[in-house]
């Protein structure tokens, strides 16, 4: 997965897109959202998100930081 992300980022940057660091920050936020899926439902309810919210955020394109819509 890491190789795919890096190759995708490089291709987008060459096409005049955003910087690599921006995509890597978004990818790391997405990894953090995936780790939240391991929490039980009570903890997620305390945080104010559902598993469906986390899956939706993980499916967003890399041009969007997955943590921002979850806030």
pTM for this structure? Answer: 0.59
pLDDT in tens, 4-58: 776 776 676 665 556 677 777 778 888 887 888 889 989 989 988 888 988 888 7
Determine contact, residues 34/54, Cβ cutoff 8 Å.
Answer: yes
Q: Of how many residues is the chain composed?
A: 71
Give the range of the structural domain holding residue 33, as residue numbers without chain letter: 2-70
pLDDT at 13 (0 to 100): 61
Give the pLDDT of residue 53: 87
Q: Are 57 and 63 in contact (CB under 8 A)?
A: no
Asked whether the predicted pLDDT for residue 63 surpasses 80, the reply is no
Q: DSSP string covering 16-41, please?
A: T---HHHHHHHHHHHHHHHHHTTS-H
Q: What is the pLDDT of residue 7?
A: 73
Model pLDDT, residue 61: 79
Residue in 50, 56, 25, 22 with CA at minimum distance from that of residue 36: 50
Structural domains in the chain (count): 1
């Amino acid at each position: 997965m890491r190789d795919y992300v890096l190759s995708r980022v490089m291709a987008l940057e060459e096409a005049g897109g955003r910087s690599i660091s921006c995509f890597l920050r978004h990818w790391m936020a997405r990894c953090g959202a995936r780790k939240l899926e391991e929490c039980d439902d009570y903890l997620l309810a305390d945080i104010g998100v559902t598993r469906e919210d986390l899956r939706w955020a993980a499916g967003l394109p890399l041009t969007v930081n997955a943590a921002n819509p979850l806030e």
